[in-house]
Structure formats: C-alpha cells, structure tokens
Amino acid sequence: MRILNFLGLSILKGALGHWWHQRLTAICIIPLSLWFMASLVSHLRSDHETVVTWISSPFVSILMVFLVCGIFYHAKLGVQVVIEDYVHTRRSKSFLLIALNTGALAGALAGVLSIFSVTFGII
Amino acid sequence: MESKPLSPHLQIYRPQLTSVLSISHRASGIFLGTAGLLALVVWLGSIALGPSQYEMTMSFLRHPLMLPLLLLWTGAFYYHLSNGIRHLFWDMGVGFELSTAYRSGYAVIGSTIALTSATWIYAFFEVIVEVIG
C-alpha cells in the first residue's frame, strides 16, 4: 500500500493525490527539462532538417513525449493551487479551473501530436 | 474585544529572503507554465508544420526584442528548478532550520545565476562560431 502510495498509483483522491503527483512529476521533469534545455541550446542555429532528424530518433521522440506530458501535468497542478489560493469568487474560480484544464490538455495534445507527426514523417 | 492573530499584510510585511524566494517560486512557475509552455508548443508545432514555418518561428524568437523575454525565461527555468529541488528536500523533512533555509536560499540564487550564465555563454559562442564559420 505504501509503495503504491509512493508511486501515486493507489486510489489517492483529492489533496494527497495532488500533492504526490506534483512531486512525482517534478522529479521526472528535472532530468528531462535539463536535457531539453541542453538540446535546445545546441540546436540554436540548426535548420529545419537537422531538428527534424534530431526529434525523429526513437530515443529523442519518446523523451520529448514524456517531457511534454510531465511538464503540462506539473504546470496544471501548480497553477491550479495558485487559482485555488487567490481566486475566491466561485464563478471566476470555476471558469479559471475549466480554462486551465482545457488549456493544459489542448497544449499537451498539440505538443504530443506535433512530435508524432514529425517522427512519423507526416509533414 | 480580544484581538485575533492576523495573517501578514503584504503591504507592511518586511520582505525577507525566504519570503521573496517563496513568492518567486510561484511567479516563475506561473510564467513557465503559461508563456513558457505556449512557446514550447508553438516551437514543436512549427517543426511539424514545415521548414518555412519553423524559420518564421525561429526568426521571431531570435528578434532582439525577444532577448529580455528569453533571458527571463531561462532565469525563471533555472530558478524554479533549483528552488524546486530545495522544496523536495523540505518535503523529505530536511533543511527546516532557519539558518539552513537561508543557506539553501543563497545556494538557489547562486545556482540560478551560474546555470543561466553558463547557458547564455554557451549560446553566445554557438552563435559566434556560426558567424565566424
């Protein structure tokens, strides 16, 4: 049970699940985002073809999908806390939370689909 | 009437290193999670759309007016990363003593400056090498 809780796989609901998921995504995106930043800087002057070749390799595309999913989920959880802390009217709170969830989902989907279409050569 | 304890009024609350770092974590998180992620998706999307769209996005990002924003973005990234690791240590119950909290706070500032500078120096040389050939 404890290890399941640790992995965030149990039926954690509400605040505790939120708290764990925030930390787990944080730990995952520490190495991923550092790797991404290093790759980004080394591709500063690369043309489109070079970047496509880079992303298309299985290793890079898988890591990029993990990064996009992890980072969007982490951002969604983080911004959610800020909204819950500072927005007190029920209407604007609901509106902002719906906008946040929609935006995070749409952004993550757009990112993942972009990576897939580059990887599978659908340009 | 007995006076009740109040939460600190930010207008008269003397800023301390710890409180400034705390609010900066949220501010940098919001910035990275909104503008930063928008940029990430636009960048990925432009690669998928093709060479001309990619070049358009890159020339927009390379515009001199974007420089302060990019600097802010790298700074916010390294700050949120460093201070996030500091938070993970707190979550494990390590480093709560006031003196340790101050020391780790200075370490976060140091690593933010060091990593941001290293990234920009590397990027600068990358561009210079390209120009010189």
**pLDDT at B1 > cutoff 60:** no
- State the pLDDT at residue B8: 67
Question: With an 8 Å Cβ cutoff, is A47 touching chain B?
Answer: yes
Q: Dump pLDDT digits (tens) for A8-35.
A: 555 566 788 889 999 999 999 999 999 9
Residue pair A43/A78 in contact (Cβ under 8 Å)? The answer is no
User: What is the mean predicted confidence (pLDDT) over B103-110?
Assistant: 98
Task: In whole angstroms, give the CA distance from residue B104 to residue B86.
Answer: 7
- State the pLDDT at residue A123: 55
Which residue of B41, B81, B122 is in closest CB contact with A33?
B81
Structural domains of chain A ordered from first start: 12-119 (1.20.1300.10)
- B39 confidence band (pLDDT: 50, 70, 90): very high
Closest-CA distance, B51 to chain A, in angstroms, reads: 5
SS3 letters across chain B: CCCCCCCCCCCCCCCCHHHHHHHHHHHHHHHHHHHHHHHHHHHHHHHHHCHHHHHHHHHHHHCHHHHHHHHHHHHHHHHHHHHHHHHHHHHCCCCCCHHHHHHHHHHHHHHHHHHHHHHHHHHHHHHHHHHHC
Which residue of B47, B122, B126 is in closest CB contact with A118?
B47
**pLDDT at B51 > cutoff 60:** yes
- State the pLDDT at residue A10: 54
State the ipTM, two decimals: 0.89
- State the pLDDT at residue A56: 95
Question: Could you tell me which residues of chain B have a Cβ less than 8 Å from any Cβ in chain A?
Answer: 26, 29-30, 32-34, 37-38, 40-41, 44-45, 47-51, 54-55, 74, 77, 81, 84-85, 87-88, 91, 119, 122-123, 126-127, 130
> CB neighbours (10 Å) of residue B109?
15
- State the pLDDT at residue B47: 97
Nearest to A35 by CA among A23, A47, A43: A43
Q: Dump pLDDT digits (tens) for A42-62.
A: 998 899 999 999 999 999 999
- State the pLDDT at residue A16: 81
- State the pLDDT at residue B59: 93
CA distances for B43 relative to A64, A71, A115, B61, B132, angstroms: 13, 15, 11, 9, 27
* A76 contact residues in B (CB cutoff 8 A): 33
User: What is the mean predicted confidence (pLDDT) over B93-97?
Assistant: 94
> CB neighbours (10 Å) of residue B113?
14
**pLDDT at B104 > cutoff 60:** yes
Mean pLDDT taken over chain B: 92
- Compute the CA torsion angle B112, A27, B85, B125 (nearest 10 deg): -20
User: What is the mean predicted confidence (pLDDT) over B100-113?
Assistant: 97
Burial B17-33 (b: 16+ CB within 10 A, else e): eeeebeebbbebbbbbb
- B11 confidence band (pLDDT: 50, 70, 90): confident
